[in-house]
Structure 1
Amino acid sequence: MLATLSSSETLVSPDSLKVSLEAGLFTDGNPACVHTLKNKQGMTVSFMDIGATWVSCQVPTSEGKREVLLGMKKLEDYQSHSAFLGATIGRFANRIAKGKFSLNGQDYRITINNNDNSLHGGIDGFDKRRWSVKEHSESHITYNLTSPDGDQGFPGSLTVEVAYTLTENNQLCIEYSALCDQDCPINLTNHAYFNLDGAESGNTILGHELMLLANEYLPTDEQLIPTGELRPVDGTSFDFKTTRPIRDRLLEDDDQKTAKGYDHALTLPSELTDGISPIAQLTSSDKLVTMSVFTDKPAIQFYSGNFLGGTPSRQGEYNDYQGIALETQFLPDCPNHPEWPAENKGFIAKKTFYQYQTSYQFEAQ
């Protein structure tokens, strides 16, 4: 394993990243637009209007700033890769089996883009759209998007906003809101990948220590579609209630072997999904950086970057297990599981307001 490189060798400044990403043209023939938020502690986070994508997260440490978010320097790399790095995901994050569901007595077919299934909203998900900037300041930016009736097969005209706010205690809060003129499944998240050793360090995340306060996990079939079982994590390799290294029980059981590691949804205790109680905590292998996760979503997808190999990076390519995604959401394929508890299902009723938030807080030595 490579040692973590010094920040001066790996950092791409926010200004340089902006210039690089805005040099390319999107499919509409226009360049991307990048904004950077900063606080008085010296932390910076940067976002791109293409996909309302989180493209950089630089945390000040005793050894200098550290880039902890996987990302790229070229717009064409963001357009061509398949790992959804930092993108806003919708209308429906995760998988819908066979791209089919029924709602109010009507059958719907969603575009298929992952084996036989629909993944992260279908072929032309929200990650592939140019979002409009509604408002922005030094510490806040809001993007909005309109998704027309029938978009990727989903019912209803949907308006959606995602707002990013950087606080003075090094917390990035992501707020999602949406309104639809028909009943529709909706499941918004951000697909950020973190490496607290440094995104370009060469290290995997397997030496990171993780605490994840989950109740159950969802076993899957060979196409990573949930079988329907909600299995308690207690005593399994998915039990991270006590902090331990990610590699500790990697590939220990058949559920992991199917996915080449962790790529599973887990349910969260309702008493902790209040947006102010930590549901997960991740610590770098050198113990220098810790990230805590807060949410009011009922579930989380824990992905250990099992198939990141070959994904463009800021300095070449990432390898497998070089980033971890902790995607707060509703359960995958929930439109096809009426037997699951209602709180785990992502639906928006006609003309009702969808609003959820997730925050990532960083502490450094």
Structure 2
Amino acid sequence: MTQVPDVCTDSMWLVSHAVRLELLPLGATLRRFEVLRPDGSWRNIVLGSRHIPDYLGRNLYLGMTIGRYANRIARARFTLDGVENCLDANEGRTQLHGGTGGFHARTWEISEQTLSTVEFSLVSPDGDQGFPGELLVSVRYELLPGGAQVTYRATTDEATVVNLTNHAYFNLKGEGCGSTDDHELVVHASGYTPAGSDLIPTGEVRDVTGSAADFRGGQLLGPSRAAAVAEGIALNEGWDHNFVVDGDGFREHCRLTGPDGTVLRILSDQPAIQVYCGDHFDGSQIGTSGRPYARRAGIALETQHFPDSPNQPAFPTTVLRPDEEYTSTTRWLVE
């Protein structure tokens, strides 16, 4: 039987012959994503906190479920059906990732658990962080051959907005093994949404052709970041951009390749993906391995709807009504 590493007592594991996940009820969090290497060793490819209180103390969102609204809402407010909704502002005048008490800060119930699946559930009351309607939410993790999948579902009793994602940071060399500047990234996106210094989109969808933001043919992250700075399109000192993924339906959003040839493919049914290269890591965050996370220790690849969609009529809608069900699936495959 596969031996599982020592972990916190609140965690649970999904284990197959080639993949194993460690999950936490706090934030419905993906704490470890371990893959079996050709030499028989296991490699953890996502960042996580060594100490559980750090998940709430540093606002890094490592592997946590983000909601009700992933990314940013300008001025921490939006109008829906003629009613203005004032939200918890936790980044200046902006709401980021659902507010101070967003879904990442909740302890979720375990509604189903098998050897290969865990489903977490949460009731978000009317007025939670300022959002209207009672929202019933589930997050289901399951193992797949060569990877894993996460599926989100939500229903509401009143019109509201929903945008759920997982905030995992990946390092294909292994968690705590240095910068991801030497990783190559492909993003299947012909456009991105430019943003101001507050990271709120301007409303434009800009063609990537001829710019540092063109990842369609693949770019090394280190040189691409330098190019973004030189071009004047860098955010948060590098990449923190919402890319508009080509096509519709369930499709490959991006492909990340580590220096040893390990490949992570991310597929989803969402219209966009946020690429954030983790420039805020400063060595003070201690990972699950006991090693510190220095600058750009991992890259976040968050499948999502556009930031600030509730205030941007030209963006795809994120409105959920009582007769509808929100569903979203993201798949991580390692080769």
Task: Verify: 1:293 aligned to 2:283, yes or no.
Answer: no
Identical columns (%)? 34
User: Counterpart of 2:233 in 1: which secondary structure?
Assistant: helix
Residues 159, 286 of structure 1: alpha-carbon distance in 2 compared, 3 angstrom cutoff: same
Aligned partner of 2:22: which letter?
Answer: S
Distance 2:169 2:82 in 1: 38
* 1:98 alignment partner, SS class: helix
Identify the match of residue 356 of structure 1 among 328, 331, 334. 328
For normalisation by structure 1, the TM-score amounts to 0.87
Name which of 193, 196, 220 aligns with 2:195. Answer: 220
Q: Aligned partners of 2:303, 2:314: CA distance in 1, in Å? A: 21
- SS of the residue aligned with 2:197? coil
Superposed CA offset, 1:119-166 (max 9, x none): 000110000001000011111010000000000100000000000010
CA distance in 1, matches of 2:236, 2:6: 36
Partner of 1:112: 89
Is residue 134 from structure 1 mapped to residue 111 from structure 2 by the alignment?
A: yes
**Counterpart in 2 of 1:307?**
280
SS at match of 2:43: strand
| 2:277 is equivalent to residue 282 of structure 1 | no
Which consecutive unaligned segments of at least 5 residues does structure 1 have?
1-12, 23-32
Distance in structure 2 (CA, Å) of the matches to 1:14 and 1:263: 34
Structure 2 unaligned segments of length 5 or more: list them: none
Equivalences for residues 337-352 of structure 1 within 5 A: 337-340=312-315, 344-352=316-324
- Work out whether 1:234 is the aligned partner of 2:234: no
Q: 1:178-327, aligned counterparts within 5 Å?
A: 178-201=154-177, 203-250=178-225, 251-256=229-234, 258-271=235-248, 274-275=249-250, 277-287=251-261, 289-309=262-282, 310-314=284-288, 315-327=290-302
Question: Does the Cα contact within 8 Å between 1:93 and 1:332 map onto a contact in 2?
Answer: yes
Deviates more, 1:78-87 or 1:46-55: 78-87
Rounded to whole Å, the distance in 2 between the matches of 1:99 and 1:209 is 35
After superposition, give the CA deviation of every residue in 1:91-120 in whole Å (9 maximum; x if it has no partner). Answer: 000000110100000001100111220000
What stretches of structure 1 move > 4 A for 4+ residues in a row?
none
For the aligned residue pairs, the C-alpha RMSD in angstroms reads 1.3
1:48 corresponds to: 24
- CA distance in 2 between counterparts of 1:225 and 1:70 reads 26
| Aligned partners of 1:182 and 1:351 also within 8 Å | no
Distance in 2 (alpha carbons) for counterparts of 1:38 and 1:232: 42
Contact map agreement 1:219 1:264 (CA 8 A) in 2: yes
Separation in structure 1 between the aligned mates of residue 270 and residue 150 of structure 2, nearest angstrom: 12
Would you say 1:16 and 2:33 are equivalent positions?
no
CA distance in 2, matches of 1:361, 1:299: 18
Q: Work out the CA distance in 2 between the residues paired with 1:233 and 1:312.
A: 36
Distance in 2 (alpha carbons) for counterparts of 1:356 and 1:213: 19
Contact kept? 1:81, 1:312, Cα under 8 Å: no
User: Which secondary structure state, in structure 2, belongs to the residue aligned with residue 252 of structure 1?
Assistant: helix
1:28 matched to which residue of 2?
Answer: none
Give a deviation string over 1:157-211, Cα, whole Å, max 9, x none: 00000000101x222110000000111110000000000011121x201100111
Q: Is the 1:154–1:184 contact (alpha carbons within 8 Å) kept by the matching residues of 2?
A: yes
> Which one-letter code corresponds to 1:54 in the other structure?
L
Task: Tell me by how many angstroms 1:57 deviates.
Answer: 0.7
Matches within 5 A, 1:70-85: 70-85=47-62
